[in-house]
Every structure is written in C-alpha cells, then in structure tokens.
Amino acid sequence: MAKSWSVLAVGLVLAIPTFARAQGSGPASSTPDSLLKWSPATKTVTFKLIAGVPGRAKSPFNFDGYTDGELTLTVPEGATVVFNFVNDDGTPHSAQVVPDAKPLPNMALDQPAIARAYSRAAGEGIAQFGTDVIRFKAAPAGNYLVICGVPGHALSGMWIRFTASPTATQPELSETPAH
C-alpha cells in the first residue's frame, strides 16, 4: 500500500508543473504574436481579444492577460481590423475603442472613437464563453484605448492600447510599461 501511495505522490508532483504551464504562465497562455494575423493582400488585421484570461495578469480585469495598457496593438491606418472577442471570465465583459484620454471612462461611451469599433452589449458585457466579431476600419490615424465598457472595469485596469499608424506597413503587438 505504501508503494502505491509513493507512485501516486510522484505522479502528482510531475503532473502539477505541466498543469500550471497549460493554465498559462504568460498572457493568454500564448505569445502575443500568436494572437495576431495579417493579410497584406486584403490589408486585414485579425486579433484574438480574450477578456478575463487567468494566469499572469494582476487581476481578472484584463485583455489577453494584460492590464493598465501593458499591451499595444499597432495597425496600418486604413486597415480592416477584426477583433475575435471571447470572454473567458465568469464576469461579463465587452470591448470598445475609445479616445486615448484621461480620465478613463467609467463605462462604455455612447459612441466609440472609431465607427463600429465595439462589441455587442458594450455597457452590459457578454457572458462567460460568449463571443463576438468586431470589424472596423482603423481610421483616422491616432492613439486609442480598447476598454471593457462594463461599469468600473476600465477603471480597474481592463484596457490595452490601440494605434492606427500612418507609417506602419504591418500590425505589431508590443508590451508597454503601465503609465
């Protein structure tokens, strides 16, 4: 009996690190670049925007594991942007592109900074495992934020940076220090 308990204990010790890695030691359990696709022929950027990723983030109020503007998505001005939004958290979340201005809004704005750059239920949020496809043109050029529009979530750090750049020739994801 003692031998079978030893085998079980060794098996658990070996399995726990594998399970922890599968749960995500980094943002979104993947590299940021795996979240991004680019079609130069159609000038289309596809970005997997995951709300409430467990793992390295400071809180469940995150996009792709990043909070407080720690991730910047830069795209060519005029590109078609497709956010494949998924809510991985038990709390409802949404997404809306807003002006990069302080103070942060407490909730979704009446109008996004870029036409059609918002998820359905922007103010109420989408339930756990809910999805939406957000499609818009990255124009005009400028610096923006992607926030969760559910009241209080952006103020709790649930936002990343978004830039429509007149000089970019392809999209780029970069980690940015929180300000």
Give all domains of the chain, ordered by start, each with its CATH number. Answer: 26-175 (2.60.40.420)
- The length of the chain in residues reads 179
Q: What gap in Å lies between CA 88 and CA 48, rounded to an integer?
A: 12
pTM of the entire structure?
0.82
In terms of Cβ atoms closer than 10 Å to its own Cβ (0-12, 13-18, 19+), residue 129 is exposed
Query: Which H helix or E strand runs over 38?
Result: strand 36-39
Q: What gap in Å lies between CA 18 and CA 24, rounded to an integer?
A: 10
Q: Which residues contact 154 (CB under 8 A, 6 or more apart)?
A: 104, 105, 106, 107, 145, 147, 148
Q: How far is CA 60 from CA 10, 97, 100, 146, 171, in A?
A: 32, 20, 22, 16, 26
Structure tokens at 158: 């649930």
Residue 85 and residue 35 in contact, taking contact as beta carbons nearer than 8 Å: no
Residue 128 and residue 94 in contact, taking contact as beta carbons nearer than 8 Å: no
Q: What gap in Å lies between CA 179 and CA 177, rounded to an integer?
A: 6
Q: What gap in Å lies between CA 69 and CA 67, rounded to an integer?
A: 6
Q: Tokens 């059609």 belong to which residue?
A: 116
Residue 157's pLDDT is what?
A: 96
Residue 114's pLDDT is what?
A: 98
Per-residue pLDDT of the chain (179 residues; tens, 9 = 90+): 554 434 333 343 333 333 232 233 344 444 566 899 999 999 999 999 999 998 767 889 999 999 999 999 999 999 999 999 999 999 999 999 999 999 999 999 999 999 999 999 999 999 999 999 999 999 999 999 999 999 999 999 999 999 999 999 999 999 987 65
